[in-house]
Amino acid sequence: MGQFWSRIVIGAALLPIVLYLVWLGGWWLFALALVGGILALHELYVIARSLRPLVLGGYAGLVLVLLGAELGGTPWLVAGLGGTFVLSFLVFGISDARPSFTAAMGTTMLGVVWVAGGLAALILVRASERGRLALLTVLLAVWADDTAAYFVGRAIGRHRMAPTLSPKKSWEGFVAGTIAAIAVAFFALYQDRDSYLTIWEAVVLGLAVAVAAALGDLFESAVKRDVGVKDSGRLLGGHGGFLDRLDAQLFAGPAAYVVLLALGHA
């Protein structure tokens, strides 16, 4: 099966499951975030193994941050990040191995802040006012952005966004993806324009999601280039690894939550 059809088949299989668990919310969404986070964090720590991340501290931090977001919101999410920092330091202190302290701590915290923090932000979006609608809109906007950018970039992409980090990403694809994300936000939230987000607020949300998704993709590309790999894993076939599929959401979630917070809906 070619990479293109592999992406289609795997995406079609996973999308209904993810949307259903988001619809249920609560501990079902927590479980989804935990499983996805463990797989993504595992991939990151494997490709960055030369930096000797403190894996135990990273996994414990993932659980602390996600539990904090689920049980106590933003304050406990921050507390989970702080607890991860201390716990990782303790793991380093009792370990027999002696890697570079700065590299080990930096890589460990990168994984927790990036992966756990991004997933926790999605949980906070789901817990916000009309959170089911908000999170479904964000996820669908990211997927529409990714799909439009992929096809338009392949068809007419000529001007490279960041040739050093990701040679295949084009400004044409970015514009198409941004239009798609804004369109999803506009139509998904249009019916509630008088009681939830106004039209311009929905447009701002879609724009923030689109820009953040592109930055998330480039961020992961920078990490992979730094450690010398093409994909974070092969678990999802043509999609690469879990981290390859989550990279945009890990930036879009925090961006969406900040927008909702600024607009008084979180």
Q: Residues 58-79: pLDDT tens digits?
A: 999 999 999 999 998 899 999 9
| Rounded distance between C-alpha atoms, residue 173 and residue 88, angstroms | 40
Mean pLDDT taken over the chain: 89
Report pLDDT for 176: 95
* pLDDT greater than 50 at residue 45: yes
What's the sign of the alpha-carbon dihedral 116, 214, 185, 242? negative
The number of distinct structural domains making up the chain is 1
* pLDDT greater than 80 at residue 241: no
Q: Mean pLDDT over residues 204-224, rounded?
A: 95
Structure-token pair, residue 265: 């809906």
Q: 259: buried, middle or exposed (CB in 10 Å: 19+, 13-18, 0-12)?
A: buried
Confidence of residue 227 (pLDDT cuts 50, 70, 90): confident
**Other C-beta atoms lying within 10 Å of the C-beta of residue 264:** 8
Domain range holding 182? Answer: 3-262
Alpha-carbon distances, residue 39 vs 210, 244, 261 (angstroms): 25, 11, 29
Q: 194: buried, middle or exposed (CB in 10 Å: 19+, 13-18, 0-12)?
A: exposed
For the stretch 91-143, pLDDT in tens is 888 877 667 888 999 999 999 999 999 999 999 999 999 999 999 999 999 99
Report pLDDT for 92: 85
* Nearest alpha-carbon partner for 216 in 204, 202, 232: 232
Report pLDDT for 238: 53
Report pLDDT for 1: 45
Are 209 and 255 in contact by the 8 Å Cβ rule? The answer is: yes
Q: Mean pLDDT over residues 73-89, rounded?
A: 91
Q: Mean pLDDT over residues 212-241, rounded?
A: 81
Q: Which residue has the tokens 């096809």?
A: 151
Residue 17 or 157, more confident: 17
Report pLDDT for 242: 82
* pLDDT greater than 60 at residue 5: no
Please state, for a pLDDT cut of 90, what percent of the chain lies above it: 65
Confidence of residue 197 (pLDDT cuts 50, 70, 90): very high
* pLDDT greater than 90 at residue 182: yes
